[in-house]
Every structure is written in C-alpha cells, then in structure tokens.
Amino acid sequence: MAADSMVQLVSYLTAQQPYEIVGTPESEWVDFKSVPPQGPYDLSTDRGKFELAKDVAAFSNAGGGLLVCGFKAKKKQTELHEVAEKVTPFDKRLVDSTKYKDIITEYVRPLLKVKFFWYDHPEDDLEASGHYFVIEVPALPEADRWAVVTRGITDDGQFIKNSWTVPIRNGDTTVFLPQDEVYRLLNDGLRARRGTKPAMSARAADRPGAREALRAALGMAETPVLFFQSVPDHPRGLLPGMYADGGLRDVLSNQDTLRNADAFNWASQHTRPEPREGGLLLTMSARGGLLIDADGGVTGAAAATPDMLGWAMEYYSGDGARRISVFVLTEITLEYFRLVDLQVMPLVDSTWTHRIVASDFTQAPARILAPGDDPAFPRRGAPQPATSNDWNHSWQALGDPERDAYQALRHIYALFGLDVTTNPFTDEGRVITARLQERRQ
C-alpha cells in the first residue's frame, strides 16, 4: 500500500495504520525522516538547525507538505524516488517541539505557521512501539514568496554569518535557487516598483492615522507617547467575528495577563472595548489604550508619564526630566506582544509588521532611561536622554511574544543610545518572562 495524498497519509496515522504508508515515495509534498539517537534533527548542531530550517522553507516554497518523522526511506534501483520502506516509531522525549518552533522562527523568513502533530503506533504491535512526529508546513502565498533560510552552511556543518539561501523542493530532493535566478528576481522586483505609488514602499504597513486617532481618543495630544503597532502585510478585509461571542471584543475584555489589571498591561477593570468604525477602542484612563482596526491591525499607546512608563520614577528623574521605569517598560512591552502575537495575528492569514514609535520623547522635560535595573535595585551607568521626537522603526513579526518584545526593546533602547542587553529582563534575544514574574512576586 501507499498514501497518495497528505490527507490519506494523515488518515493512516490517525487510524494507527502506519504500515499502510510503507511504499509511499517521497515527493513535493512528503519527506520521511528516520530517527537517530539525537532525534529527527540534531538541534545541538548548526547542521541540524540548518536542515530543519531548510526542509521547512523548501516545502513552503513548493506548495506545502509534510515532514514525517518515524519512517526509514530508501531508493531502490527500480524506483525514481526514495520510498518509505520501514516504520521506525520513537520516544516522544527525543523531540522538544518548542525548540523546533524556535529554530524555525529564528532562521526562516517570512514567519510560517508550522503545525506539529504526534501520532501513536499500535500498542498491540510486538515488532515496534512508540510514536510518529509530523511537521505540517503551509504553502507560502505567491505574493510572499520566497521563503529564505537566514544562514548558509559550510561543508563542515558551521553556520555562515551574513548569508542566506532559498531552498526549493524538487521531487524527493531539495535544491537551492541559483544565484542568477536570485539576481533576476531582485531586478524584476526593482523594475516592478518603478513608477508605483509611495504607499507601496517598505513603510506601507505604517499607519500614522491610527496613531493620531488613538491619541485624540485618549486626550494625549500634548503627552509623550510610546506607540506599538502591528499590521498585516496583506489585509483580508473585515476581520470576521470581531463582535461575536468569543471574538476579539471578548478577548480584550478577558485578557490573560501576567498579573492583574492594575499591573502594567493592556487590560482595564473600569472600561470595556467599544465598537469604532468596524473595529474596537479600549481606553485605560491616563495610562493609554488600544485601537483595533476593522482588518485586525492593532495600535497601542502607553503614556510616558508617571501614570505608566514613569511609574514611581519621579524621585530619580532629576533636573525635571522624566525617568522611564525599566520594569514597567519591559512588562508593558511583553504584554502587548502576548496579546497581539497569540490572540490577534492568528486571525489573519498574512505575514505581519510590528512597529514602535516614540513620539515627543525629547520635549521638556525630556524622557530618560538608564542601563541596568530601576534605582531601588543595583544599577549601572547614568540615565541617558531620548535623542528623537519621532522615533519610528519596524521589523517583520516573529510571532513569538518574548522575541518580538526583545526586538521592540532593542529599538527603544537605541533611542537613548543604550544597548538592550543592559536590560536585566532579557537574555539571548528574548525577554525572559520568569524574571519579570520573580521580581514582582
């Protein structure tokens, strides 16, 4: 027997009939992985990380597919492709799906909504036991192609910094987009852009109108504000179920926050989200608020005042300047991406752009930030003043709240001439949620 489609292959695994899959050839939609002692991919090595990223990107460029772990494939002389010839189920402890997700998030662009599934081998089989691990890779929309692995690799299995590759599934193998083809695509893109409107530039995801509308609704026209903004790169029109039971309005009303609504997050005990031009507006008194556009785009505003970002910092500001609390800045930033990455982005099938805008931070009294922790704790260095009144930077959303929060803080710290690594709640490219929770136990 053999599976002739992704649906049939998954149905065999669901029904605990893995032997029906034996004889299935590898193709544009399926690749089989046997399982050595380190697991299907050895993520302790650069080569293992590259192989995982390469396989995922290649399938996304070829219309989607399945990476099926737990089958040995072999090419016979009479066959054109490798064929699943043996079941090799394995222990679940050999795969940490969180690490798999982190590798894909870090090394594949754009962000892909990869799914992971476990399937059981029949318990009454005396010849084999264990489980099968399947990675389902979605097809990348034509408008978003091509998926890129953000690292190349040497012959001895080491990452090459400042390099990238474009893998493509070709039958049962993976090849890489030739340099000449990359050159042609880049030039085609440049030619296509000539004569287009400025709105089609890299800042197309910027929505200054939403920021101004939110600022006006909050009565913060003269207040320094830190804006967070998240916009789908390819909006799909009205977001379905905005006001339905369990929809986005209910999500905003019952947020899953790290601490209660009096902490530094985007929840409110006193107001509910209100309908606004097909979207939602949630105000949080003098602290800030959220505006959800009809297509799911999100704008958040946090006041750079003692009510929010400068909470309990007046005593340490000096010379009339307003000091920003490192703890508050980090918590409100992480809470924004916990809300947007986990609750809003999955509702729109698109890549997304995140953005931070620090507005009026140099107006007197200037906003200042210091490396290290807040003054009540050991700290390093002197406070640094903001260097711009219109600090506007963006990045492609990673979909991981801790990583996106780190990217936001990296840009915010640069506004003050500081490196984000001086923030004690960050490490290895992410905000560490546990450190925030430990500080406020």
Residue 302: count of CB within 10 angstroms of its CB = 23
The tokens describing 180, both together, are 């000449």
What per-residue confidence (pLDDT) applies to 423? Answer: 96
The per-residue pLDDT for 224 is 96
How many whole angstroms separate alpha carbon 33 and alpha carbon 48? Answer: 13
Distance of alpha carbon 375 from alpha carbon 316, whole angstroms = 7
Residue 74 phi, psi dihedral angles, 5° rounding: -150, 145
- The DSSP string of 405-421 is HHHHHHHHHHHTT--GG
Q: Is the dihedral angle over the CA atoms 249, 253, 257, 261 positive or is it negative?
A: positive
* 62 alpha-carbon distance from chain centroid: 22
CA distance 117 to 96: 12
d(CA 119, CA 152): 33
User: What pLDDT is attached to residue 148?
Assistant: 92
Per-residue pLDDT for the chain (441 aa), expressed as one digit of tens each?
A: 789 889 999 999 999 999 999 999 998 899 999 999 989 999 999 999 999 999 999 999 888 999 999 999 998 766 668 999 999 999 999 999 999 999 999 999 998 889 999 999 999 999 999 999 999 999 887 767 789 999 999 989 999 988 899 998 877 788 887 766 676 667 666 665 555 444 433 444 789 999 999 999 999 999 999 999 999 988 878 888 899 999 999 999 999 999 886 789 999 888 999 999 889 999 998 899 999 999 999 999 999 999 999 998 876 666 567 999 999 999 999 999 999 999 999 999 888 999 999 999 999 889 999 999 988 655 556 889 999 999 999 999 999 999 999 999 999 999 999 999 999 999 989 999 999 988 765
Per CATH, is 6-186 categorized as 1.10.760? no
Contact yes or no for 81/27 (Cβ under 8 A): yes
How many helical (H) and strand (E) elements, i.e. helices and strands, does the chain have? 10, 24
Q: Which two tokens stand for residue 383?
A: 């406070």
Helix, strand and coil percent figures for the chain, each rounded to 5: 30, 25, 45
Cβ–Cβ under 8 Å, residues 326 and 319: no
| Per-residue model confidence (pLDDT) at position 46 | 96
What's the pLDDT at 361?
A: 96
Q: Give a three-class secondary structure readout of 302-314.
A: EECCCCCCCCCCH
Q: What is the pTM of this model?
A: 0.60
What residues does each domain of the chain span?
A: 6-186, 208-439
- Nearest to 279, CA basis, from 298, 302, 301: 298
From 340, 306, 343, 325, select the one nearest 440 (Cα to Cα). Answer: 325
Is residue 151 a contact partner of residue 161, using CB atoms and an 8 Å limit? yes
The rounded distance, in Å, linking the Cα atoms of 282 and 31 is 47
What pLDDT sits at residue 146? 85
Q: Hey, what amino acid is at 210?
A: A
